[in-house]
Chain A
Amino acid sequence: MAPSLDLANLPDADVVTLAQQGREAAFRELLRRYERPVFSLIFRMVRDREISEDLAQDTFIKVLNHIDKYRPEFKLSSWLFKIANNVAIDHLRKRQLDTISIDGSPHAASAAEVEATSFDLTARQESALDEMEARELGTSIERAIARLRPEYRSCIMLRHVEGRSYEEIAATLDLPLGTVKTYIHRARHELREALEHVKGPGY
């Protein structure tokens, strides 16, 4: 039997080392630390609880099953967020393709047709969003985030919800630093515009 350790007080790197030594408790500690941040990031990207859980599950399984390949010079959280963002973006791309194909315009001949299908996609997202907002994400700020482009969404979440620096976000998302700054600045401007009509500190 492995000796008992106070895992909650250990830094990530030490918990990862214990996980690499096959300690199940260390795997569970990593899950306990990051299940909410990873799930929140994905949920705010794809806006569907069931799908978000599946994608978050995929993220953790990928990371934990390859924990022996972890390089300590990177933050574990950055690795997790990178994979979480990738699975969320992949899902959004697939969903977009599915919607276009359902709507019968995989080979749209004119700009008007493309516009028609993209309008339909937005309408679907809005209706799904309406239902979700009623339950969990009812605030104006959440609604405004939902209307951002996915790239802006992940950047703004990492910057202001997870408190990451621009440099960390650039490394996590494999984007140039300038691009990250641009995305975050544009996201803030769009949020400000979306929330202009809302008064009070609560949004």
Chain B
Amino acid sequence: MVGHFLYEGLKLANGSPFTGDIRNGLSNGEAGAHVNALVFEGKIMSGFTGQKEKLAERRAVDYAKTGVINFIYTSVQYDVTFKTQTPSNPNSVTVDKISKTKPIRAPQYPPGP
């Protein structure tokens, strides 16, 4: 997460859009800071797991019901449950629980339901 955050921030500071045109590849500068950072995050995770993690993907399709966002890599998936934001600080998000599971499918971009 820290790697994603720093890499994305660096790209944004250099003028990249948050998301962009992915037709020339996800690592291409045109793809945007967030997409580049998803690829970078996969490389960091490869070092962590010792396996080739092709990409990181967020899956938030159930978030409204469950409060869970899936962080999907090739060999591992983390299901992160977020606490409801506090009215006094609506921009804060607190992690409530993290569960490590097997990926439901390979990470993909653009993501599908």
**Binding partners A and B:** no
Query: B residues near A, CB below 8 A?
Result: none
